[in-house]
Amino acid sequence: MHKGSKKLAYTLSALFAGAVFGSGCVRTGDTVTTIDGFAQGSTYHIVVKSDRQRPEIQQAIDSLLGVIDRSVSLFNDSSLLNRINRGETDSVDAHIAYCVETAEKISRESDGMYDITIKPIFEAWGFTGRECDGDPDIDSLLRYVGHEKIRIENGRLVRTMPGVQIDLSSIAQGYSADMLARLLEEHGIEEYLVEIGGEIFCRGTNPSGTDWRVGIDKPEEGNFTPGADMQVKLSLTGLGLATSGNYRKYHTDSKGRKIVHTINPKTGYSEISNLLSATVIAENATLADAYGTLMMVIGLDRSIELLNRHPELMGYLVYTDDAGRFETYVSPALERHIIRD
């Protein structure tokens, strides 16, 4: 279970005319301000619909993303999360506490198929910038994995044994999108779309006065350009959305085996199934992010069962049938969000 040193797949692209990703780039029109930049090993893209310019927004965004980076990022060697993993401290901040506690609820529900203590396994397979050492001793590393081995208590991360480490990559960018949305609302902005690393939260309407339009990329190997070949377009507002998949993020080991980013925390090995991508729409991007990752681990049938148990979630699942043809499962409630033009 993981989304990798970068997100599992940038399978999500907001449909904006002339959207160009830059570094701290702000473009303002008559009623729209677009802000692009880089954060957490990926890009962010924010569109604000407003009749007033707010020059302080960029500074506030940069400040918030800096705070989150110094907290939950695995890219930042001095982040609080990395210092916790190295055993230098056990104190957590509000960002880590929220992500860990949210993850724990999903871990309990899924009987540990979603598990943020997967970091040693994921690292052993070479997905955190380190080379994979041939055949890693997965069995020896599995003793450090298990959501029941950690808990938050009085502002501290309590571990049942030394060596347990956490990786929030499967939830942190969704959380970051939600935090950016909250920031915008604190500045009086009520109509916006936030996208960071492919995770989205939007509210209100777009500049055309309709719900925001979001595209999900077709999960095919070789489809490396977001928006170039889309599976479906959705109309959304007041919701978070995240997509997980394996078709862009994988590597081949020394024996020629395809190692994908979706690692089963029970076995420590890649979980390969006919489910190619899972898009989840939820009340916030944090939940959408985590549930999307979980679905890639548990596969098509159990994902459909999960969606049936959670009417508050919507899902768009892309899979292959026995003949290798693309098929989709669409939650009934999601049908009305599909753009069919």
CB 268 within 8 A of CB 121: yes
Q: Which domains does the chain have, with CATH numbers?
A: 86-159 (1.10.3980.10)
Q: Which of 177, 206, 172 is nearest to 93 (CA)?
A: 172
DSSP 292: H
- Position 251 confidence tier, pLDDT thresholds 50, 70, 90: very low
β-pairing, 156-159 vs 150-153, is: antiparallel
C-alpha pair distances (Å), 319 with each of 177, 231, 262, 292, 300:
27, 12, 15, 14, 8
Tokens linked to 178: 């939600």
Report pLDDT digits (tens) over 194-242. Answer: 999 899 999 999 989 999 999 998 876 554 445 556 889 999 999 999 9
Report pLDDT digits (tens) over 28-49. Answer: 555 788 999 988 778 899 999 9
- Position 129 confidence tier, pLDDT thresholds 50, 70, 90: low
The pLDDT > 70 percentage for the chain reads 80
**What pTM was estimated for this model as a whole?**
0.87
Report pLDDT digits (tens) over 162-200. Answer: 999 999 999 999 999 999 999 999 999 999 999 998 999
SS3 339: coil
pLDDT at residue number 223: 44
Q: Which residue has the tokens 């994995």?
A: 145
The pLDDT > 90 percentage for the chain reads 63
Own/partner pairs, 149-157, CB within 8 angstroms, 24+ separation: 149/117, 150/100, 150/104, 150/117, 151/104, 152/92, 152/97, 152/100, 152/101, 155/91, 155/92, 155/97, 156/90, 156/91, 156/92, 157/84, 157/90, 157/91, 157/92, 157/96, 157/100
β-pairing, 25-28 vs 32-39, is: antiparallel
pLDDT at residue number 130: 57
pLDDT at residue number 136: 80
SS3 303: helix
- CA 46/CA 192 separation, integer angstroms: 7
